[in-house]
Amino acid sequence: MQESVYMQLAISQAHNAWALGEVPVGAIVVKDGEVIATGFNQPIGTHDPTAHAEIMALRAASSILGNYRLPGCELYVTLEPCAMCSGAMMHARLARVVFGASDPKTGACGSIVNLFEQEKLNHHTEVVGGVLADECGALLREFFAERRRTTQRAIDSAMESDKN
């Protein structure tokens, strides 16, 4: 299925974020069956709270197409978008958003709120969730488990130094 192929590409982008110490979320923008832009989380390294994977991919796609509107485009992202990213997607007039893992803390495609179902808004983007959800969720769980292990090792090392 094409959705899973595109989500695999988004997962590859998430690995780029992890390599930089960022939360591993990746995104791609597709138009007419062709990947036109990619993005991955970079808020820590860029000191930019808006540098989420989705925003980075939207910025790249807009630059490539020479338009801040992205009609006919689809965005694939490994984690359910937050309110900021969902708002940007609506302003970009994306045709469709496909996400992997749900985000029970900040998800704005149904987990906390579904901004895309707000009838009063003038643009309605189709949303599909759960594509390769297990793989996308596992990536995030592994990242945070590794981060906890690293933190615990640092604490253990500090405590050992204090004993000496």
| Catalytic positions | 54
How far is CA 130 from each of CA 56, 58, 81, 148, rounded to the nearest angstrom? Answer: 22, 21, 12, 26
Structure tokens at 73: 């485009």
DSSP 56-94: HHHHHHHHHHT-S--TTEEEEEEE---HHHHHHHHHTT-
| Cα angle for residues 137, 92, 11 (degrees, 5° grid) | 25
How far apart (Å, rounded) are the C-alpha atoms in residues 15 and 4?
16
